[in-house]
Amino acid sequence: MQVLDTIDEQRIAELCARDEFFWLDAAAPAEEDVRRLADRFGWHPLVVEDLVHFSQRPKIDSYGDYALIVFYGAHTDGRGQPALTEVHVIVSGSYVITIRHAACDELHDVRRRMTASPPRSEQFVVYRVLDALTDSFFPILESIDEEIDQLEDRIVQRPSDAELQRVQRVKRTIVEMRRVVMPQRDIAARALDDLRELPGLDADARDYYRDLYDHLIRIADLLDSYRDLMTGLMDVYLSTISNRLNVVMKQLTIIATVFLPLTFVTGFFGQNFGWLVRHINSFWEFLVFGLGGMALPCVLLFAWFRRAGFLERDGAGG
């Protein structure tokens, strides 16, 4: 089996003339190159449309002697954020052609291994491609798990708008991945039956496709658990913010309550009672009647707050 990484029409023609099976992994091909391949192999116009316009849903479409599989992997983009890798796989008894727009190190590793050790059957090539894309999700899921742990600690300690934005971003990533993983799980469940009907393919990879299906089930379960964790994390964030707001309102209420009798005392004695004015003739009398008259309500309020339990610190207090 030959492994190609560029669209070399002359070499493809030679392989087709010898009826030799090959895998072509085309990264970001031009639309004209895709249409030339379609003319050579007689692909259906709907297949050409899917190959030219990406952002397709995961699917497997059979067209007689060949099939189109739309499958997704995962990678980290230039900003260090998780992203999806869309790969279109055209499977026939004579060739496997993968077309993608993004870089995919996993497929590069598969090409290198197959060049060194050719597979024993055509279906095994398809399995290796789908398995590499499936396994690319696991490192991304590990990074998401670590980020969820960090978010839990930060939200409990000191929640902020930055953590809320991270929660929303991670939640969108999980939803986006789940949107493609769930149909891919169904594709893996019936991939062998659909591919077995293609002429020229040896149906000897049933156990491998079962392993692929198990991996996709595991990924789907992890995404479901992460989605539940993010929902709970959002509840923790809102609860923590609410508790901190209650603490702040409690503190402000205590301050306002303390100043309420002081305002009353100063306003009441601001009427200049003759008795009070005549008895404040020295600094010590000012301390006793003036400041003492304001300190006494504060002491009484403090004793009342302590007795009522208003001054006890809440568990969520900062």
Residues 233, 87 share a domain? yes
Q: Are 92 and 117 in contact (CB under 8 A)?
A: no
- Domain edge (last residue) among 240, 265, 300: 240
Indicate if 8 and 151 belong to the same structural domain.
yes
Between 32 and 197, where is the model more confident? Answer: 32
Would 144 be classed as within a structural domain? yes
- Shared-domain flag, residues 298 and 182: no
Number of domains in the chain: 2
Shared domain for 289 and 171, answered yes or no, is no
pLDDT of residue 174: 93
> Does residue 318 form part of some domain?
no
The answer on 206 and 277 residing in a single domain is no
- The domain in which residue 36 lies consists of 2-240
Q: Which of 106, 105, 99, 101 is nearest to 129 (CA)?
A: 106
Using the predicted structure, report yes or no on whether residue 318 has a pLDDT greater than 50. Answer: no
Tell whether 63 is covered by a domain.
yes
For residues 164 and 296, membership in a common domain is answered with no
- In CATH, what number is assigned to the domain containing residue 112? 3.30.460.20
Tell me, yes or no, whether 313 lies in a domain. no
Residue 119, domain member (yes or no)? yes
**Interval 142-147 mean pLDDT:** 92
Out of 187, 209, 240, a domain closes at: 240
pLDDT in tens, 284-301: 777 777 677 778 877 887
* The pLDDT of residue 316: 43
102 and 145 housed in the same domain:
yes
**What pLDDT is attached to residue 102?**
84
Whether the predicted pLDDT of 277 surpasses 80: no
Whether 215 and 286 map to the same domain: the answer is no
For residues 203 and 64, state if they share a domain: yes
Residues 160 and 284 placed together within one structural domain of the fold: no
Once rounded to an integer, what is the mean pLDDT over residues 110-135? 83
pLDDT in tens, 159-168: 778 888 888 8
Same-domain check for residues 205 and 268:
no
Domain end call among 212, 240, 268: 240
Output the average pLDDT for the chain: 82
| 151 band by pLDDT with thresholds 50, 70 and 90 | confident
Q: Is residue 37 domain-resident?
A: yes
Give a yes or no: residue 315 inside a domain. Answer: no
> Quick check: is 215 in a domain?
yes
pLDDT at 275: 60
Q: Are residues 160 and 116 in the same domain?
A: yes
pTM over 0.85: no
The average pLDDT across 93-115 equals 88
